[in-house]
Structure 1
Amino acid sequence: MKLKPRVIALNVAVAFIALMVLFPLAWMVSVSFMQTGEAATFPPPLLPDSWTLEHYRTLFVTQGMGQYLWNSFALATMATLLALGFTVPAGYAFAKLKFAGRDRLFQLLIGALVIPAQIGTLPLFLMLKGMGLVNTYAGALVPWLASIFGLFLVRQYALSIPDEMLEAARVDGASEGQIFRRVVLPTMQPIIVTLGLFVFLGSWNDFLWPLIILTDQSNYTLPVALAAMSREHVQDIEMMMAGSVITVAPVLILFLALQRYYIRGMLAGSVKG
């Protein structure tokens, strides 16, 4: 079958855009295996002359990268579990349960989406300082407990659950808790995975809030630790690239492993309800 020039041009454009997006990531990985100072030459080499793991060994042995990696993983995991625990039941309630002021309250929450999150940073910090939660992971987790966007996402998906299915379960004598556990949660699996992925990636990559709330270096997450190290090793491009690979690789692998659930959840949440 002969391809039309329009189709060929579209494929070439898509391939070019993909190359532009992937090239910096590929070069970052390549530089992380170069000898010290090799990336500073001009023109910068695309591949190492001799591959080395020296920078990764330095990061884990002398810079404590293993501790920062664990801090990020623990914080992102707890943020994800807590966010799902609060947001999924709330989103379902706004979609399927009737209570006084439900619609007006939801409209008020949606209206708050236009307010930049940075505006609430100082008041939240002062509140947590008064509660003694500065430099604690509990304080770092507070902004992730429930997000308005996550609530909206879950609600839109929950609207697609047939009311007849819920009523049939009620007629059979199931309580609201049993309906939620046995009927709603299995049905909402795609959007739960999608929301969990959103929260995990957001918490893992968050820089500003951990920088503000975590004052002890031993509590730093990967982005904060990498920024702190860059001030001391600003000329060591190869080690900074190795640190960037360590920061990016886990979430990239997680996204690729769960992307089919993510796409299903986003598409279903955008067209249903």
Structure 2
Amino acid sequence: MSTTVVRSPAVAKSPAVTRRRSPLHRLAGFGAGLVLVAGAVVSLVPFLWMAVASTRSTSELFHSPPPFLPGGRLLDNLARLEETIGFGRVMLNSLGIALVHTVLSSLVSAMCGYGLAKFRFRGRGLLLGVVLATMMIPFQVLLVPLFQMMASLGWVNSYQAVILPFLASSFGILLMRQGFLDFPDELLESARIDGSGEVRTFFTVVLPCVRPQLGALVIFTFMSAWNSFIWPLLMLNSEDKYTVPVALNTLTGLTRIDYSGLMLGSLLATLPLMALFLCFQRQFISGLLGGAVKQ
């Protein structure tokens, strides 16, 4: 009894599988890694110096050579910062203003972007052009007319004067419009056939599908409101209503500057921004890449 062995034909290996990277490619990858590491170190040096300076006295910062290790004046600087400007109070002021402004501005931008993307009406192209044109107007040009408007309304030295004038963001409207353009019209028609109203459709069907763009908009809007300096400086006259940037500006006097207090206040002021970015970093990256690839 003979046994027949059937040999299967040899599977040709793909050249892409067996191909190895050349030494030149490996060297280029190693050089790119070194450049990225060097860039990360250069970017972190100011933050490390800020952390070290917040634990030192102002006189110690001007020693030669300067200190590169943390000191023991952190609690003293924090107590002096609280006594001088009421840092806890101004942090709460900035947090409240930034949160309210972020929620309202994101909602306004989302609704405007949805209207420009999904509704057909006369003058839509002209309105979109006006929104684009407003991005070219410098902020400094608007200061005087906005101040006169707030003064005529009696809103000077009030939080609504800081929050309300900048709710409609042209950048936010265009960002959300781009996200809504990719939303299929068939889902809107299905929701309307099922009896869902426009408001319910917007909040329950459309808005959850553009979370990447909304997350990116939240980060941009919160950072803009948190770091705003010129407009709160013009509007707020009472020290108990100051925001963090305005309050830290009072530490720079004509003859003496509290550098250690400025460093500590600036370091603490970056913590909410870092926490917000860590919470929304995935949506932030996805929102920036939204619409970059067409199926």
Deviations 1:31-79 (A, max 9, x none): 1112452211012111135464210122124431111101100100110
| Match in the other structure for 2:130 | 108
User: Which residue of 109, 121, 130 corresponds with 1:99?
Assistant: 121
User: Which residue of 224, 236, 239 corresponds with 1:217?
Assistant: 239
| Match in the other structure for 1:253 | 275
Counterparts of 1:261 and 1:17, CA distance in 2: 25
User: Which residue of 63, 66, 74 corresponds with 2:96?
Assistant: 74
Give the aligned CA root-mean-square deviation in angstroms: 1.9
Structure 2: give runs of 5+ residues left out of the alignment. Answer: 1-20
| Match in the other structure for 1:152 | 174
| Match in the other structure for 2:37 | 15
Deviations 1:66-104 (A, max 9, x none): 111011001001101110221111111100112221121
| Match in the other structure for 2:165 | 143
CA positional deviation for 1:144: 2.6
Contact 2:85 / 2:247 at 8 angstroms: preserved in 1?
no
SS of 1:257's equivalent in the other structure is helix
| Match in the other structure for 1:31 | 53
Contact 1:109 / 1:148 at 8 angstroms: preserved in 2?
yes
Deviations 1:14-42 (A, max 9, x none): 11111111110111011111245221101
Bigger CA drift: 219-228 or 115-124? 115-124
Deviations 1:222-267 (A, max 9, x none): 0010011222784432222111112222212221222111111111
Bigger CA drift: 34-43 or 179-188? 34-43
Contact 1:55 / 1:242 at 8 angstroms: preserved in 2?
yes
- CA distance change for structure 1 residues 168 and 11 in 2, over 3 Å: closer, same or farther? same
Bigger CA drift: 225-234 or 25-34? 225-234
Correspondence 1:132 to 2:148: no
**AA matched with 1:222:** V
Deviations 1:155-211 (A, max 9, x none): 001101011111111222222122112111111122112111111110000111101
Contact 2:251 / 2:258 at 8 angstroms: preserved in 1?
no
Tell me which of the two structures has the higher relative contact order, counting C-alpha pairs closer than 8 angstroms and 6 or more residues apart. Answer: 1
More helix by share: 1
| Match in the other structure for 2:109 | 87
**AA matched with 1:116:** P
| Match in the other structure for 1:204 | 226
SS of 1:26's equivalent in the other structure is helix
**AA matched with 1:258:** F
Contact 1:159 / 1:272 at 8 angstroms: preserved in 2?
no
Counterparts of 2:181 and 2:53, CA distance in 1: 48
SS of 2:69's equivalent in the other structure is coil
Q: Percent identity?
A: 37
SS of 2:232's equivalent in the other structure is helix
SS of 1:4's equivalent in the other structure is helix
User: Which residue of 262, 267, 270 corresponds with 2:284?
Assistant: 262
Counterparts of 1:271 and 1:123, CA distance in 2: 42
Correspondence 1:238 to 2:257: no
